Structure 1
Amino acid sequence: MKKVLGILFFMSAAAFARDLTLDEAIELSLNNSKKIQISSKNMKIGELNLARAFKMALPSVSYEGSYSRFEHTQRNMYGRETGVNKITNIQDAVKGKVEKGGYSSQVVISQPIFQGGAILGGIKGAKAQSNIMDLSFVAEKRDVRIDTIQMYSNIVRYQKDLEALETSKKELEIRHKEQQNKLDLKLIIKADLLKTEVAMLEVDSNIVQVKNLIEVEMKKLKIETGLTNEEELNLADITVPEELSKNIDFDKDMVTAKTESLDALISKNNVEYANAERMVAFSDNLPKVNAFVQYGGYERDSMDDTFHNEEWRGGVSVSWELFNFGSGIDNFRAANEGYKIEKLNDSIAQDNIEINLTTAYSEVVRLEKLRTAMRSSLEASQENYNIDTERYKAGLLSTQDYLNSEAQLRQSKVDYNKAETDYLVAFEKYRSLLI
């Protein structure tokens, strides 16, 4: 009964396994990646900071209020109208003090007129920062796409490696049985059998290693795509086109990468942001002018003295810090040095773009040739193995030579799988440098 249930469970799991193509995996990653979600929220923060910077140029309305309690140490107070000397409270007179209290309140409408460039610098800085957030969001999507391609192609490669290893294991098991029969007939020595057993153990070890690699990469892919760990995936094979380098116009791509790529644009916006900070720092040394309208005043109330002066007031306020031991100048100088640093960083970024694109292109060309070489090597190894197998069966080849031929075929399959995967990823990385 348990065996039947196990078979039914296996059939059910196989029936509900999900087929997944590379394009589908990329789309799932772009929709579910936590890194992209974080980058999206940072982009929203950049938009809010930009909106806030624009609002700094608009009028503001504020309320100002305070309450105070104070006392007079002088015993006698004069009436406001009669001028008669009064003592408001016998106990206070004895104590030699008279307590009074009051509060002030006012509503103020203020409109910046001149802030020394602080508002304009703030807007420019917020705009540059918002652009950086937007570009970083696209860059994160680019990186997630590359990571997904890398993980997906790794799994497909390891599955092909596993297939090659399992085929090799079956071949070795056949030869091992044949050798046991020959050993019983004393046609071979035990050393030949032991050599085959060692080869089988090596293949078993490689199978365990590859299965572990598949499991790890599959978990990483499921996390990136947002799929549950319990869901079984059947990955479709990847068809890698031939001679991808023929579609590359390297000189044109270099111009594009230096002027329109994400790395170039982010670097330029970092320069703009540093320049905006320099403007804001310089504005600290200039006067600030604001127009204002306010209503309110001070109200004081006591037993014998009440005072109200609420009224409308308006005008222009000017504030200018004339002396602060040069801290404002130092702040501007520091911001100016920061601007120069970002200019140098932009130059470094241009150099890095040129180096990275050149390296990526060279890697595409190299792996394209390597892939062709590995295919030829695989074909030669397969042909050589077929011949050696027949020679071994006929007793014309030693066990060690046969095992060497079989190991060479196995390694050729693994090398070709790696070359094909690396070629695809290298081309996609080259393309990503142009985005």
Structure 2
Amino acid sequence: MKLKKNYMKKLTALVLGGLMTTTMASAAMAESVDMTLEESVRTALDNNYSIKQQEAEYDSAVWARHQARRSFGPTVNWQSTATKMGGKYNDKLSLSRNYGNTLSLTMPIYTGGQLEGAIKAADLAMNANELGLELSKQKVKAATMSAYYQALQAKNQIKVAQDSVNTLTEHLKNVNAQYTVGTVAKSDVLGTQVQMANAEQNLINAKNSYDVAIASLNNVMGLPTDTELNLTDSLDYNVYEIPLEECTAYARSNRPDVLIADYQVAIAEAGVQQAKAGYMPKVSAQASKSWAGDSPFGSEETDPRYQNNNNWTAGVVVSWDIWDNNVTQSKVNQSKAAVAKAEAAAENTRQSGDLEVRTAYLNLKAAEKSINTTQVAVDKAQEDYKIAQVRYAAGVGTNLDVMDAEEKLAQAQTNYYTALYNYNSSKAALDKAMGIMVDLDVSKLALPQEAAK
């Protein structure tokens, strides 16, 4: 019996300990994390897998460039053979072994521009991939800022909904008090209660939208979706003074995708250079040494026949396809078509960039105007609601007037916060459209204007 009691005590302690541990863990998980906009962007840049993928692409391009440059150096090749031969000789079975070894060195001297074109293309591809990495970072930054602003907008909508609930709660108290003394009808109480229920439902929906927005922001940042965040920044308004023309010009010089498109043109032109190498002769220096015998690595001392199978060569080899049935011409024409395709794609990228900049800029300016007008509307709606309340309390206004004024106030506040959201999100979209750098000064990688055409 005593053993059973001790066992039960230990079991209870373990259960309570487990519950306490779970509670502490839950409390730790429930603790919110303060997050500024800048911190959210940096977190996303550190965790995003598309960036990691682009980093691997850049590393691959670096090694491809290394490979292309090394192709202009010497190569040393070792070849070894071992054969066994059998048959009859003078009605006697014969079996012999033969070993051969060749050590050769080859170095290109002139390739007609083929290796030079390959090296140029590899250099360009490496820079294009570095620009691609910056482009990936800019996309992640824009997506993070958009998600952060959406969460702030959802947070503001909670404030609007909560203000409506608070306002209607006070008004309902006033209506009940007047109904108790018989100065208003029952319909006023019922109407206010319905309006109150609708406001509470709006508050529930607003909180749910905020939870979804936070989960989306966590997903963009690479954090667990249930991480609780305390967004410390707000939707602010600062006048944007840069004119559209300057924004467009900046985008044409700094957008990574525009610069990448120019690089694709230059890479295609390097391909033409490589294709034209088929018209030219190829010159290389070669040297080799070979030996053969009955043993894998025979020597003059152990195999007298070895000295008759030991030789070396050194010289220059020239090869020229004088007629290749127009294969080279076909390659050249194909490469020129690739250049035309790349040039068309580059121009399309520039025009798409111009449109993206203009769209974001116009949205920004429209939101900027809306901020001023909606702020005035909020002030007037607040004044109108106060007047409606005073009139109702004095018995010269109706409950419908109060309900209508409250709805207009909530709508005006919603419009104001929406204008702030549109302004900030349009500003983020404009930064991305212009190619505002994240980690790389892309202007240093811009091709000369002649090469970019």
Give the TM-score taking structure 2 as reference length. 0.79
Compared CA separation, residues 328 and 408, structure 1 to 2 (3 A): same
Distance 2:392 2:84 in 1: 110
Measured on the aligned residues, the alpha-carbon RMSD in Å equals: 3.2
**1:15-34 mapped onto 2 (5 Å cutoff):** 16-34=31-49
1:421 aligned residue: 421
Q: Could you tell me which of 280, 291, 295 is aligned with 2:289? A: 295
Equivalent residues of 1:199, 1:403 under 8 A apart: yes
| Deviation at residue 389 of structure 1 after TM alignment | 2.0
| Deviation at residue 165 of structure 1 after TM alignment | 0.3
Compared CA separation, residues 316 and 204, structure 1 to 2 (3 A): farther
- Structure 1 window deviating more from structure 2 (322-331 vs 345-354): it is 322-331
Distance 1:10 1:377 in 2: 47
2:129 aligned residue: 133
Compared CA separation, residues 329 and 297, structure 1 to 2 (3 A): farther
SS for the counterpart of 2:378 is helix
2:380 aligned residue: 380
1:215 aligned residue: 211
Equivalent residues of 1:115, 1:283 under 8 A apart: yes
Q: Deviations over 1:328-384 (max 9, x none)?
A: 432322221011111122222222233222222222221111111111111111111
Q: Deviations over 1:264-299 (max 9, x none)?
A: 311111111111222223324543322112222444
- Structure 1 window deviating more from structure 2 (210-219 vs 56-65): it is 210-219
| Deviation at residue 178 of structure 1 after TM alignment | 4.8
- Alignment identity in percent? 22
Q: Does 1:251 align with 2:245?
A: yes
| Deviation at residue 134 of structure 1 after TM alignment | 0.7
SS for the counterpart of 1:148 is helix
2:69 aligned residue: 54
- Structure 1 window deviating more from structure 2 (358-367 vs 225-234): it is 225-234
How many correspondences in the alignment? 408
Distance 2:399 2:292 in 1: 108
Distance 1:322 1:125 in 2: 27
| Deviation at residue 208 of structure 1 after TM alignment | 3.1
SS for the counterpart of 1:67 is strand
Distance 1:306 1:194 in 2: 119
Equivalent residues of 2:265, 2:342 under 8 A apart: yes
Q: Unaligned 5+ residue runs, structure 2?
A: 1-15, 297-303, 437-453
Equivalent residues of 2:44, 2:222 under 8 A apart: yes
Q: Unaligned 5+ residue runs, structure 1?
A: 77-86, 93-97
Compared CA separation, residues 393 and 346, structure 1 to 2 (3 A): same
| Deviation at residue 55 of structure 1 after TM alignment | 0.8
1:234 aligned residue: 230
Equivalent residues of 2:381, 2:408 under 8 A apart: yes
Q: Could you tell me which of 83, 93, 103 is aligned with 1:107? A: 103
Q: Could you tell me which of 193, 200, 203 is aligned with 1:204? A: 200
Q: Could you tell me which of 236, 257, 267 is aligned with 1:263? A: 257
Give the TM-score taking structure 1 as reference length. 0.82
Distance 2:63 2:245 in 1: 39
**1:326-345 mapped onto 2 (5 Å cutoff):** 326-345=326-345
Distance 1:136 1:427 in 2: 23
Distance 1:199 1:406 in 2: 10
1:155 aligned residue: 151
The residue identity in structure 1 corresponding to 2:397 is L
Q: Deviations over 1:122-153 (max 9, x none)?
A: 11111111111111111222222222221212
SS for the counterpart of 1:294 is strand
- Structure 1 window deviating more from structure 2 (152-161 vs 182-191): it is 182-191
Compared CA separation, residues 60 and 199, structure 1 to 2 (3 A): farther
SS for the counterpart of 2:396 is coil
- Structure 1 window deviating more from structure 2 (206-215 vs 159-168): it is 206-215
2:167 aligned residue: 171
SS for the counterpart of 1:102 is strand
Equivalent residues of 1:30, 1:144 under 8 A apart: yes
The residue identity in structure 2 corresponding to 1:173 is T
